[in-house]
Amino acid sequence: MRQKLLELERSARLLEPTADERLTVREKVVDYTEDFLNNIESLNAYNPQGDKGIGLLDSPISENGIGIDEAIKLIRDNVDTPGLNPASGGHFGYIPGGGIYYSALGDYLADVFNRYAGIFFAAPGAVRMENMLIRWMNDLVGYPAGAAGNLTTSGSLANMIAIVTARDGRNIKSADIPRSVIYLSKQTHHSVAKAINVAGLNECPVRYVELDEKFRMKADDLASQIERDKSEGLNPFLVVASAGTTDVGAIDPLPEIGEIARQHGLWYHIDAAYGGFFILTEEGKTKLKGLELSDSVIIDPHKGLFLPYGLGVVLVKNAEDLKYSNRFDAHYMQDAFRGNEELSPAELSPELTKHFRGLRLWLPLKLHGVAPFRACLEEKLFLAKYFHAEVQKLGFECKNVPELSVVAYRYVPKTGDANIFNKNLLDAVVADGRVFGSSTMIDGDFTLRFACLSFRSHLNTVQLLVDILREKVSELS
Ligand SMILES: *Cc1c(COP(=O)(O)O)cnc(C)c1O
């Protein structure tokens, strides 16, 4: 037995590299990342897919390890090269963010120390840090002292937690579902529909509120649909507004919707995944008035605070609602909730054991302070106005005046099908690779989207996009 144990220990101990081994591997990893960061300005925003990372399969998971040089080569060739480069400032598609560096170091610290951030008893400091960040965001949106929240992996998960909380907060039981009505708009992000589905609410009647010419919900249409549904004996219980739609960055009339939700007793959820952090700017603060009227809101630090992917946030005005929807009982954890001065993430989300996500937000906020984030967001608002003006000078038509940092635009050629032209134009821009863009359909029109939210996008990057558009339009015409 002893002999066997010592033998196994020899092999098991390989999992703890020596200080020298750590140094070697760490330096190679850091060198690789430094090489990337030092060249980020000249790297493409998009690389045609090539063999799509298939080379990884030539090196299967096996009994014996490989060296760090070989591992980095596999990552470089197969993972970090093909496809979209979201770290590039030339990424103007979907909703970019960039991935600020100190967040990566926050993750490194969180992972080396491996604090158990699920429960206050186990890691009071880690949980206090997360709660402090949640309080900071609750203050930003104007929620009172009794509010709570959770750091999730993404906006989609944050929406899911919010929708489940709305369901329970309005006491929707299975028998109520067929008559319990949800109000969305055609601009609502699809993760809300997914959340409704996952929450078991897909048999709720869903009403799409009419949009005005700026793609915002018409509050009077919302009110009249609710009244009609009520008069027919239905139970309107949830309205989801957007504070910055993904498509065009539209902000629904938040105060008016808040008033209607209050009058009719609806749960008021706001999806501010993309737009929420613009509240740090003066312009954003004015435009986002009414966030405080909601019962729940989501915001995405991996968008509006430029963090690497992996952080969304759900905020709920009444902590009890969030607690109720995530209640549980486990005998083996009977001693884990002693001396609870603080709420624990495990009580407020479907997760138990979780990554200590707080550090990836706390470290950059503490090292930089809020000021550069605020400036960067304001810069993005101005870059959208700049792009909007410049692209029209090139003869493009815009589907929106930027409310935040998204511009929907398309070129209408003198002859031929405009949809085909714009699709070819986008393909040409993406194939060029220096910048990346994406598209959407607006009123049946194939429309290009300029979504400016990478912290690495500046005047020169936007100018490059404008120049490339000019070049490609003339080539295609
Ligand atoms: C991005 C986005 C989401 C989804 O967030 P993920 O972090 O991508 O899961 C939800 N709503 C809006 C408005 C978004 O822009």
Model pLDDT for residues 151-189, shown as the tens digit of each residue: 999 999 999 999 999 999 999 999 999 999 999 999 999
DSSP label at 50? Answer: T
Q: What are phi and psi of 315, to 5 degrees?
A: -120, 140
Q: What is the pLDDT of residue 103?
A: 98
Q: What is the pLDDT of residue 328?
A: 86
Residue % of the chain over a pLDDT of 70: 100
Does residue 407 come out as left (phi exceeding 0), alpha (psi in the -120 to 50 range) or beta? beta
Q: What does the alpha-carbon distance between residue 211 and residue 158 come to, in Å, rounded to a whole number? A: 25
332: tokens are 């083996």
CB of 247 within 6 A of ligand 1: the answer is: no
pLDDT at 236 over 70: yes
User: Above 90 in pLDDT, residue 329?
Assistant: no
Cα-to-centroid distance, 1 and ligand 1 (Å): 55
Sheet holding 267-271, edge to edge: 148-152, 312-316, 296-299, 267-271, 235-242, 180-184, 206-208
Q: Is there an atom of ligand 1 within 6 Å of 246 CB?
A: yes
Other C-beta atoms closer than 10 Å to the C-beta of 351 total: 18
| Residue among 271, 291, 309, 311 whose CB has most ligand 1 atoms within 8 A, to mutate | 271
Take residue 166 and report the two structure tokens written for it: 């709305």
Residue 417 has pLDDT above 80, yes or no: yes
Class level of CATH domain 107-367 = alpha beta
Distance CA 427, CA 440 (A): 14
> How far away, in angstroms, is 273 Cα from ligand 1 center?
5
User: 305 CA distance to ligand 1 centroid (A)?
Assistant: 14
pLDDT for 339: 64
- Give the tens place of pLDDT for each residue, 52-74: 899 999 999 999 999 999 999 99
221-226-228 Cα angle (round to 5): 95
User: What three-state secondary structure class fits 170?
Assistant: coil
Residue from 240, 246, 305, 452 whose mutation best tests the ligand 1 pocket (most atoms within 8 A of CB): 246
Whole-number Å distance between alpha carbons of 368 and 152: 23
Query: Which residue's CA is minimally distant from atom 5 of ligand 1?
Result: 155
Between CA 73 and CA 87 the distance in angstroms is 19
Residue owning the nearest CA to atom 12 of ligand 1:
273
Ligand 1 site, residue 189, Cβ cutoff 6 A: yes
Q: Which amino acid is at 95?
A: I
SS3 (DSSP) at 206: strand
Torsion angle (degrees, nearest 10) of CA 251, 254, 260, 264 = 100
269 lines ligand 1 (CB under 6 A): no
Residue 379 vs residues 123, 386, 463, 464: alpha-carbon distances, Å: 38, 10, 14, 17
Q: What is the mean pLDDT of the chain?
A: 96
Q: Residue 207 has what pLDDT?
A: 98
pLDDT value for 332: 78
- Cβ–Cβ < 8 Å for 274, 299: no
Q: Where are the domains of the chain?
A: 107-367, 371-476
Distance 155 CA to ligand 1 centre (A): 5
Of 312, 280, 309, the C-alpha closest to 299 is 312
Which whole number is the average pLDDT over 292-304?
Answer: 98
The response to whether residue 273 sits with its C-beta less than 6 Å from ligand 1 reads yes
Q: How far apart are the first and last CA of the chain?
A: 80
107-367 shares its CATH topology with 371-476: no
Distance CA 446, CA 443 (A): 9
What distance in angstroms lies between residue 28's CA and the mean position of ligand 1's atoms? 34
Q: How many CB atoms lie within 10 A of CB 101?
A: 15
Query: 216 C-alpha vs ligand 1 centroid, how far in Å?
Result: 18
pLDDT of residue 51: 83
Which of 84, 95, 188, 248 maximizes ligand 1 atoms within 8 Å of its Cβ, making it the mutation to test the pocket? Answer: 95
Q: Establish whether residue 274 lines the binding site of ligand 1, counting it when its CB lies within 6 angstroms of any ligand atom.
A: yes
The rounded Å distance from CA 151 to ligand 1 centre is 14
Is the pLDDT confidence value at 390 over 80? yes
**pLDDT score for 33:** 98
* Residue nearest atom 3 of ligand 1, based on CA coordinates: 155
The architecture that CATH gives domain 371-476 is Alpha-Beta Complex (3.90)
Ligand 1 pocket member 261 (CB < 6 A) = no
Q: What percent of the chain has pLDDT over 90?
A: 96
pLDDT top residue among 103 and 48: 103
Residue 337 has pLDDT above 80, yes or no: no
What is the pLDDT averaged over residues 360-382?
Answer: 98
Burial of residue 118 (CB within 10 Å: 0-12, 13-18, 19+) is buried
Indicate if ligand 1 lies below 6 Å from the C-beta of 188. Answer: no
Residue 469 identity (one-letter amino acid): L
Pocket of ligand 1 contains residue 156 by CB under 6 Å: yes
49 versus 388: the higher-pLDDT residue is 388
> Best substitution site from 191, 196, 217 to test ligand 1's pocket, by max atoms within 8 Å of Cβ?
191
Give the strand pairing for 406-411 and 445-451.
antiparallel
Model confidence band, residue 330 (pLDDT cutoffs 50, 70, 90): confident
d(CA 198, CA 242) in angstroms, rounded, equals 20
Ligand 1: does its nearest atom lie under 6 Å from the Cβ of 281?
no
- Residue with the bigger pLDDT between 81 and 50: it is 81
Average pLDDT over residues 414-442: 96
